[in-house]
A and B are shown apart, each in its own frame.
Chain A
Amino acid sequence: MTAGTGAAEGGTFHERLTALAERRIEMGEVRGVAAADPVNLPMIRHWTDAIGDANPLYTDPEAAEGGVHGEIVAPPAMIQVWSMPGVRRSGRQVSTPVDDVLRMLDENGHTGVVATNCEQTYHRYVRLGERPVPATRFAGLSGPKRTALGEGYFVTWNVTWYAGDEPVATMLFRVLKFRPREREEVPPPKPATINAAPRAPYLLRPATPMDDAARTPDPPKTVTAMDDAAPRAPYPLRPAVNRDTEFFWEGVAKGELRIQKCAGCGELRHPPGPVCPSCRSADRTYVVAGGEGEVYSYVVHHHPPVPGRETPFVVAVVELPEGVRMVGNVTECASSEVGIGMPVRVTYRQMDDELTLPMWIPREA
């Protein structure tokens, strides 16, 4: 039990979490432990070397003396470096107002974390010998939000580094703490195996605020999770696949648009099914569609947000010359250019490491 979490044991998780967040906001800024070492030249040298910053004002005493600062200063983007607790966290720790909010989320299964925002403002350069002290302020909680990664809460905090009483840098940091999608719940389709380099999303393991800082020793990035991370995360809108439909998804994975064909009477059918409604035959085969079609009807989805998708997007009923219709997205053109009768041809888009979807793009008539 951490201080304060006992006050609102009743209510839903959301209510308890919100109540805790409100109390943490009320705490205001909480000072942490000063940098373990004073700002020093060896660390600056390692860091600028790793980053590739050859500016002599950071490392050459003579150049620095003649420069605008008159002495060695640390690169501003190093500010987090000075107060990192270290991998083993052996030094003295002071909990921040964020810690038990993140812990409560972890305990409720929101174990996933993705950093979505990091914005730093530098008030002045930090000089050799100074020992910045980080102070953390809990800034806000929003959610639950349904995201491409899973349902979660955005947690935001501010850190200000002080040299003495003077603020030298401030940072807004925001993470999405999410409940990872359960893979068992939505089995991936069997056939979808495509050769492509897996792309790792900007994911971190469950962490405290200072942990996040510890694992991002490079200059801070601003990552917008929904714009950047979503296409890399497992695509959330997966088809159910069974023995009656797997031939279609196997085809898509190979770049073939397959239409079920009755082996008895030859009738083409989409969506497919196990028994031919015309001749009762359960013997099935397929033909590969030519890949062309015309928009028979379409919609432009604006609202509400759809997991794994950026709005607006176009979904169309496409009529194929083979005599069947298929639903799919029309891409690579503005939604205002889509119209009924528009000629399209199929293409394939890999949605994640496992799923490929057929898509439709404009073609010359």
Chain B
Amino acid sequence: MVSFSGSTAVAGIGATEFSKQSGRSELQLAAEAVSAALDDAGLTPSDVDGLVTYTQDANDEIAVAREVGIGDLSFFSRVHYGGGAACGTVLHAAMAVATGVAETVVCYRAFNERSGRRFGQPDARIGGEPSSQGLEMSWHVPYGLMTPAAWVAMFAQRYMHAYGVTSEDFGRVAVAMRRHASTNPAAWFYQRPITLEEHQASRWIVEPLHLLDCCQESDGAVALVVTSAERARDLRRSPVLITGAAQGAGAGQMMMTSYYRDDMTGLPEMGVVGGRLWEQSGLGPSDVQTAILYDHFTPFVLTQLEELGFCGRGEARDFVAGGGIEIDGHLPVNPHGGQLGEAYIHGMNGIAEAVRQIRGTSVNQVSGVHNVLVTAGTGVPTSGLILSAE
């Protein structure tokens, strides 16, 4: 059986600036990020023969190829389920490279999520079509349960009830992310840390979530170059090995409203991903020096720590207490500031940070990083990665 684990690598990363109004089209953002990633890798557009993005991305692979000057493509693929696609794009790319379907695949995500279509705004149309997803939404949207914050808040309330978790526990995640972002010049919230009191004082969005439990909305793009580890060794940057890559959906899964499973306090789909990652890599939580955990909303950062085995069920509140996930804690999470602090690029910016942590080039570098775990969108069918140094 062909395996991509250890034989494929991320060879380049590229990004645009992160803003609230890019002032240019999403296609331009995509092209800029892809070109930057190729420059970083020391490759040219003609080296690329595969492209992968999200089903939600508005830029077709062929359109990006035209803008960047990429020639023939032998592989193109899309990953579904919103931000759950992030690490899945790398999985698809790695599979293509490992099987010889393609040699150099670029994964990208580009959007004007703040100045264009904002995911946080209610859209009455999402329940309107009798597709499987439209019907799924139709059990929720008529009641006004129709924003990502609300969908997540429903899980968060039950989680709080089950384990005695408080809003302040969620707030500690936000404080950590904003602390990290405050020393990252690329972050939107550069030099703007927050206190727990500010978190508590921020207005309700959907109880139990305050404004500062919700990630920002951003314009921008990120791209990643995936190729074989062997080839990556000859390129400009030290290879960042793909040790593990997995997608996961759980039994009884819905897009973001999996309220009908026995338990509402976990993320079974992330459990699927975690199990696969540890199995592929032969690693465990103690082998990871820093983690990039998807943080569109604070509560699921706690759930992920439990689901991935960094702590036991219901113990994440203690794990994050006292700065446990801050840069100097026992598991630094999102040293770039995450989506709460750096930018919301649908998880793709987190993968880029993982690459920098392995390379040792992050502005908030964690010492002695050998393995980084990365996750994608939570509450949805999702994906994850373990990236490693040689």
Co-assembled chains A and B? yes
B206-A299 in contact (CB<8A): yes
A297-B121 in contact (CB<8A): no
B5-30 CB contact bits vs A (8 Å, 1 = yes)? Answer: 00000000000000000000000000
A313 contacts which chain B residues (CB < 8 A)?
Answer: 144
State in angstroms the CA–CA spacing of A131 and B142 once bound together.
53
B130 contacts which chain A residues (CB < 8 A)?
Answer: 240-242
State in angstroms the CA–CA spacing of A301 and B152 once bound together.
12
A237 contacts which chain B residues (CB < 8 A)?
Answer: 124, 127, 141-144, 146
B101-140 CB contact bits vs A (8 Å, 1 = yes)? Answer: 0000000000000000000111011011111001111111
Known: A298-B154, A299-B150, A324-B260. A238 touches B161 (CB 8 A): no
Cβ-neighbour of B147 out of A239, A245, A304, A355 (below 8 A): A304
Cβ-neighbour of B264 out of A240, A307, A317, A335 (below 8 A): A317
B146-A302 in contact (CB<8A): no
State in angstroms the CA–CA spacing of A299 and B161 once bound together.
13
Q: Check: B204 CB closer than 8 A to any chain A CB.
A: yes
B157-A240 in contact (CB<8A): no
A241 contacts which chain B residues (CB < 8 A)?
Answer: 130, 138
Q: How far is the CB of A150 from chain B (nearest CB, A)?
A: 10
- Interface size bucket, B side? 35 or more
A304's nearest neighbour on chain B, judged by CB, is B121
State in angstroms the CA–CA spacing of A324 and B252 once bound together.
13
B144-A271 in contact (CB<8A): no
Please report which residues of chain A, range 315-356, place their CB below 8 angstroms from some CB of chain B when the two chains form the complex: 315, 317, 324-329, 335, 340, 351, 355
Q: Check: A172 CB closer than 8 A to any chain B CB.
A: no
Known: A297-B264, A302-B204, A325-B260. A239 touches B144 (CB 8 A): no
Q: How far is the CB of A324 from chain B (nearest CB, A)?
A: 7
Cβ-neighbour of A306 out of B125, B144, B260 (below 8 A): B144
B191-220 CB contact bits vs A (8 Å, 1 = yes)? Answer: 000000000000111111000000000000
A245-B135 in contact (CB<8A): yes
B265's nearest neighbour on chain A, judged by CB, is A297
A294-315 CB contact bits vs B (8 Å, 1 = yes)? Answer: 0011111111111111001101
Q: Check: B288 CB closer than 8 A to any chain A CB.
A: no
Known: A238-B127, A297-B158. A327 touches B153 (CB 8 A): no
B157-A186 in contact (CB<8A): no
B260-A240 in contact (CB<8A): no
Q: Check: A107 CB closer than 8 A to any chain B CB.
A: no
Q: Check: B363 CB closer than 8 A to any chain A CB.
A: no
B143-A302 in contact (CB<8A): no
Known: A302-B206, A304-B122. A240 touches B127 (CB 8 A): yes
A299-B157 in contact (CB<8A): yes
A186-B206 in contact (CB<8A): no
Q: Check: B167 CB closer than 8 A to any chain A CB.
A: no
Cβ-neighbour of A315 out of B135, B137, B138, B144 (below 8 A): B144
B150-A301 in contact (CB<8A): yes
B207-A238 in contact (CB<8A): no
Cβ-neighbour of B140 out of A297, A312, A327 (below 8 A): A327
Q: How far is the CB of A9 from chain B (nearest CB, A)?
A: 22
A297-B259 in contact (CB<8A): yes
B204-A299 in contact (CB<8A): no
A146 contacts which chain B residues (CB < 8 A)?
Answer: 121-122
State in angstroms the CA–CA spacing of A78 and B137 once bound together.
51
Q: How far is the CB of A346 from chain B (nearest CB, A)?
A: 13
Known: A237-B124, A240-B130, A324-B260. A297 touches B155 (CB 8 A): yes
State in angstroms the CA–CA spacing of A305 and B138 once bound together.
19
Please report which residues of chain A, range 124-168, place their CB below 8 angstroms from some CB of chain B when the two chains form the complex: 146
A306-B207 in contact (CB<8A): no
B143-A357 in contact (CB<8A): yes
Q: Check: B257 CB closer than 8 A to any chain A CB.
A: yes
A340-B260 in contact (CB<8A): no
Q: Check: B145 CB closer than 8 A to any chain A CB.
A: yes
B157-A270 in contact (CB<8A): no
Cβ-neighbour of B125 out of A186, A309, A357 (below 8 A): A186
State in angstroms the CA–CA spacing of A245 and B132 once bound together.
11
B155's nearest neighbour on chain A, judged by CB, is A297
Q: How far is the CB of A44 from chain B (nearest CB, A)?
A: 48
Among B125, B142, B150, B207, chain A packs the most CB atoms within 10 A around the CB of: B142
A299-B146 in contact (CB<8A): no
Known: A237-B146, A297-B154, A315-B154. A327 touches B121 (CB 8 A): no
A242's nearest neighbour on chain B, judged by CB, is B130
A300-B138 in contact (CB<8A): no
Known: A303-B204, A313-B144. A240 touches B154 (CB 8 A): no
B147-A302 in contact (CB<8A): no
Known: A186-B125, A297-B259, A303-B205. A309 touches B144 (CB 8 A): yes
A238-B143 in contact (CB<8A): no
Cβ-neighbour of B142 out of A238, A298, A340 (below 8 A): A238
Q: How far is the CB of A332 from chain B (nearest CB, A)?
A: 15
B259-A300 in contact (CB<8A): no
With A235-B142, A327-B140 already in contact, 5 other A-B pairs whose C-beta atoms are closer than 8 Å: A237-B124, A239-B138, A240-B128, A271-B260, A324-B260
Residue pairs across A and B with Cβ atoms less than 8 A apart, 22 shown, are: A146-B122, A186-B128, A237-B142, A237-B143, A238-B124, A239-B139, A239-B141, A240-B138, A241-B130, A270-B260, A297-B155, A299-B150, A300-B207, A301-B144, A301-B206, A303-B204, A304-B121, A306-B122, A312-B204, A315-B143, A317-B154, A325-B260
Interface residues of A (CB under 8 A from B): 146, 185-187, 235-242, 244-245, 270-271, 296-309, 312-313, 315, 317, 324-329, 335, 340, 351, 355, 357
Q: Which 7 A-B pairs have the closest CB atoms?
A: A239-B138, A300-B207, A297-B158, A242-B130, A240-B134, A299-B153, A302-B204
